[in-house]
Chains A and B, each alone.
Chain A
Amino acid sequence: MYRILLFLYRIRAFLLFVLLETIAIWLIVSNNSQQGSVFFNSSNRISAGILDTQTDIIDYFSLSSVNKALVEKNAELLAELEQYRKPADSIYFSLDSALEASYQFKGAKVINNSINLSQNYLTINKGSRHGIREGMGVFNEEGVVGRVKGVTKNFATVISLLHTELLVSSKISSSEVFGSIKWDGVDPKIAKMLYVPRHVQVQVGDKVVTSGYNAVFPEGIPIGIVLEVKPGPETNYLDITVELSTDFTKISYVYLVENNLAEELENLNLEN
């Protein structure tokens, strides 16, 4: 018995090594789930507080480009608003609840972002106190950014579209063909569109937008443009390369969207 203890004492450094590495592996695995578990990431109070202060300072350098993007978005929205203005010579009826707005939008500032690893995350400065919830869709004026992973009181982490395990339900806007956008981990400007069958005609330059099927994003938020179409290695599907419209290197403000009817939609899907 004494010998065993002596032996264990002699290899204590190795035992500690194994213990610490096991903890590390456990952390890696538990962090890999798509949602939840935000004890140890950049949205906790200390690290997010530091990052928030840092962005407050750095923000001044990107003000002009942010302003430019906002002006463009404003112009686009004004043009759209023109269609809804009532002409004076018509009578309008109010619509019923079936056509009520089912999406809610919120804005947030990005305080932390990475693009070069194969699983990238963003941190934003809004949390459960501001009504952010897990699973909300995130986009900016250019296109889709990602999806909320975990929420603390004042901050939230977002799975970036540049995450090799995030799939976004999408469609090619001209032909209404559905597929899934997935990043392959190489270039932050390029992603793949999966599950598009071979018989479909896809043209280079076609727009890819969100499909609105998975109740995360409303229909029609831009994702990118088809860059290349090849017959894929699997016999049934095309190998489509998409150039992402969002420039992930300079994201500073994002919008979050929540589908008010998401719960109802999910329940319906479960019942069937």
Chain B
Amino acid sequence: MNSSKIFLLAGSFLLYFLVQVLMFKNMVIFGVAFCFLYVLYILLLPVEMKTIPMMLIAFILGLGVDMFYDTMGMHIFSLVAIAFVRNFWLGILTPTGGYDENLQPSMLNMGLGWFVTYSLPLFFLHHLLFFYIDSLGTNLFFPVVQKIVASTIFVFVMSIIVQLLFYRRRRGI
């Protein structure tokens, strides 16, 4: 991994973080669909990224987001879980012939069908953990399910739009 690559990763980390806490934080559709787009940053890290550094990145990103949401620990918990699971999931979804060197597992590189199977379960897991922790202490069931499903769909659609607008094929950002 050369230095320009690391610079790009750090830059997009900052960008995802700031856009999340300054813009998407206030963007909640109908009070149920949240936009936790920062999860996409973890999903789009290069394929050969090891689990340990990825979990540390997830921890720091979650900590930053938690500070602004005043939900101390909840984003950390769900994002670290995603970072831990991601590489297993990538391993299961390996296409025939394996991944290319230095590949970013994005929709543009892998195709829409593959990206749906890759990202949708991970988004769902993240939102499940987050809203489950959030609802502890209340005995609500239906509103929580509603939030999980609506947010998963919303974030998925947003992640496709963001990739179409800001990402390029075969060039890891």
Partner of B134, one of A115, A117, A184: A117
Partner of B84, one of A17, A29, A31, A44: A17
Chain A residues whose C-beta falls within 8 Å of the C-beta of B165 in the assembled complex: none
A:1-27 near B, CB below 8 Å: 12-14, 16-17, 20-21, 23-27
The answer to whether the Cβ of B90 comes within 8 Å of any Cβ in the partner chain is no
Chain A residues whose C-beta falls within 8 Å of the C-beta of B71 in the assembled complex: 117, 119
Stretch touching chain A among B2-10, B60-68, B107-115:
B60-68
Chain A residues whose C-beta falls within 8 Å of the C-beta of B63 in the assembled complex: 40
The answer to whether the Cβ of A265 comes within 8 Å of any Cβ in the partner chain is no
Cβ–Cβ contact A40 & B72, under 8 A: yes
Number of A-B pairs whose CB atoms are under 8 Å? 103
B:55-104 near A, CB below 8 Å: 55-56, 59, 62-63, 66-74, 76-77, 80-81, 84
Q: How large is the interface on A (under 10, 10 to 19, 20 to 34, 35 or more residues)?
A: 35 or more
Chain A residue nearest to B79 in the complex (CB): A24
User: How many whole Å from B113's CB to the nearest CB in chain A?
Assistant: 29
Known: A17-B55, A28-B77, A40-B63. A51 touches B138 (CB 8 A): no
User: How many whole Å from A180's CB to the nearest CB in chain B?
Assistant: 16
The answer to whether the Cβ of B34 comes within 8 Å of any Cβ in the partner chain is yes
Cα–Cα distance between A267 and B172 once the two chains are bound (Å): 65
What are 26 A-B contacts with C-beta separation under 8 Å?
A12-B52, A13-B51, A14-B84, A17-B80, A17-B81, A21-B81, A23-B59, A23-B73, A23-B76, A24-B62, A24-B73, A24-B76, A27-B66, A28-B133, A29-B73, A40-B63, A40-B67, A54-B22, A112-B70, A116-B28, A118-B137, A164-B137, A165-B137, A184-B140, A185-B143, A188-B31
Binding site for B on A (CB under 8 A): 12-14, 16-17, 20-21, 23-31, 40-42, 44, 47, 50-51, 54, 112, 114-121, 123, 157, 164-165, 184-188
